[in-house]
Amino acid sequence: MNKIFLKWVSILLVILSLTACGVRSGDGFTTVTLSGWQSFPAEKELVAQLLKNFEFTHPNIKVKYEIISDQYMDVIKTRLIGDAAPDVFYLDAFEAPLLMDHGVLEPLDNYITTEFNFADFEQSLLKAFKKDGKTYGLPKDFSTLVLFYNKDHFSQANLTVPPKTWKQLREYSKKLTIDTNRDRRPERYGLGIAPELARQYFMIKAFGGRLFDRKGNVAFASRKSLKGLQPIVDQYQNDRSSALPSDVGTNSGSEMFGQGKASMVLEGSWLLLYLQETFPNLEFATAEVPSLGRTKGTMAYTVAYVMNKKAKHKDAAWALISYLTGKEGMEAVAKMAPVLPARKSVLSELGYDRNPLYAPFIKGASYATLWQAGENLPLVRTHFDNQFLSALLGEQSLKSAMKKAQKAANQEIQESRY
């Protein structure tokens, strides 16, 4: 078994205080355990209400709901090793390959009926939870990256429409940057950037680059990959029209945009709630991510409900999953939460595809790059992020940085195999 998974054995003492999952109580009720995290402030209360509705329609099933607020996947992996994991739990696409590879999830295909309308899901999201023709999870929601832009800043710069290409984006950024003194940082930047693989993966693919080659070796230092990443470095170093959050004293691209220190950012749907609550007077709009090369690109992030393979009452666990990911459950959440439902019918009925702020997110789902690339992605991400930031800051060339990151990642992967 891969060392990435086995390392969690060392913390098995945590499970001593846990109870077994899928318990049938003496009063005839079947108890199903559900674990997740809290993505937004009202999520716990919203899910709790949804579970009450489920219990009302399924009077023989009780749900024990738990929010794991810290080190979520560490806790889940530890419990899986100790046979004390919940029956049903959230699983991010980023983490899914490891659990699918090690056979700890229950395939859901035999439970899915025609009435469930499996085809209603955004098919590009389902790919994240499929392996060897089997479905191991059903996405509950998703987000893609879109371009957020400050309408007042655009008006001041006589810009009337969002940029369609990355070349236009750089031109816009220069016009939007307020740089009155070349000896110090600009007062405002055209673009706020996040130097992370989770945001740059689609840039690597823009000209045919890839994270891994056909043999499974890390390969993001290729000429094609560098061609997609170089515009980010050039804009930061040469144009001086983009900035990191730390350059302007903020902690994130969301904060950078909200405070007006960047006129444009590439962010997900989570920014909508943040702006609504923190900067309600900000005039902004969204657009699809400008194309780099000949094809459109963006990132997609999704989370699914999955079933523990060792769940003792699998029919009850499936009843819960099918309710939460069914049209009724998904629509109830979408009406009250800042999430994009994974069912196309719910997106349409609630008018997301006709809402100017949300439509770019939905359009991007069909061509987005999923934030997923096998069970070694976490260590690849670490090496990439460290070296890419170094290149961005001018400490070394992009080519040199990517070669170092690639070599270190491949070496660590090789060591983990023995």
What confidence tens digit (pLDDT) does each residue in 182-233 have? 666 788 999 999 999 999 999 999 999 999 998 889 999 999 999 999 999 9
0.85 exceeded by pTM: yes
Q: Verify that 239 and 155 share a domain, yes or no.
A: yes
The contacts of residue 4 (CB under 8 Å, 6+ apart) are 98, 375, 376, 378, 379, 416
Q: Which of 355, 370, 385 is the last residue of a domain?
A: 370
Q: What is the pLDDT of residue 11?
A: 39
Q: Verify that 199 and 336 share a domain, yes or no.
A: no
Residue pair 129/159 in contact by the 8 Å Cβ criterion: no
CA angle 405-410-415, nearest 5°?
130
Q: Verify that 223 and 119 share a domain, yes or no.
A: no
Q: Verify that 216 and 357 share a domain, yes or no.
A: no
Q: In degrees to the nearest 10, what's the CA dihedral of 254, 259, 260, 261? A: -80
Q: What is the Cα–Cα distance from 307 to 330, expressed in whole angstroms?
A: 18
The total domain count for the chain is: 2
Looking at this protein, which amino acid is placed at residue 80?
L
Residue-range definition of the domain harbouring residue 412: 146-299+373-416
Q: What is the pLDDT of residue 39?
A: 79
| Tokens found for residue 342 | 């994974």
Q: What is the pLDDT of residue 153?
A: 98
Per-residue pLDDT for the chain (418 aa), expressed as one digit of tens each? 455 444 444 433 333 333 445 555 556 789 999 999 987 777 888 889 999 999 999 999 999 999 998 999 999 999 999 889 999 999 999 999 999 999 999 999 999 999 999 999 999 999 999 999 999 999 999 999 999 999 999 999 999 999 999 999 999 999 999 975 666 678 899 999 999 999 999 999 999 999 999 888 999 999 999 999 999 999 999 999 999 999 999 999 999 999 999 999 999 999 998 999 999 999 999 999 999 988 899 999 999 999 999 999 999 999 999 999 999 999 988 887 778 999 999 999 999 999 999 999 999 999 999 999 999 999 999 999 999 999 999 999 999 999 999 999 999 998 877 6
Q: Verify that 279 and 317 share a domain, yes or no.
A: no
Length of the chain: 418
Q: Verify that 311 and 203 share a domain, yes or no.
A: no
Q: What is the Cα–Cα distance from 272 to 96, expressed in whole angstroms?
A: 27
Tell me, letter by letter, the H, E, C secondary structure of 371-402.
Answer: CCCCCCHHHHHHHHHHHHHHHHCCCCCHHHHH
Mutual angle of helices 314-325 and 327-336, in 10-degree steps:
50
**CATH code assigned at 281:** 3.40.190.10
Q: Verify that 308 and 339 share a domain, yes or no.
A: yes
Q: Verify that 122 and 34 share a domain, yes or no.
A: yes
Q: Verify that 23 and 162 share a domain, yes or no.
A: no
Kindly provide the residue ranges of all beta strands, DSSP E only, lying in 162-261, ordered along the sequence: 189-192, 242-243
Tokens 């390969």, residue located: 219
Q: Verify that 132 and 172 share a domain, yes or no.
A: no
Q: Verify that 66 and 99 share a domain, yes or no.
A: yes
Q: Verify that 71 and 170 share a domain, yes or no.
A: no
What is residue 188's DSSP assignment?
A: B
Q: What is the pLDDT of residue 15?
A: 37
Q: What is the pLDDT of residue 182?
A: 64
Mutual angle of helices 377-392 and 223-234, in 10-degree steps:
50
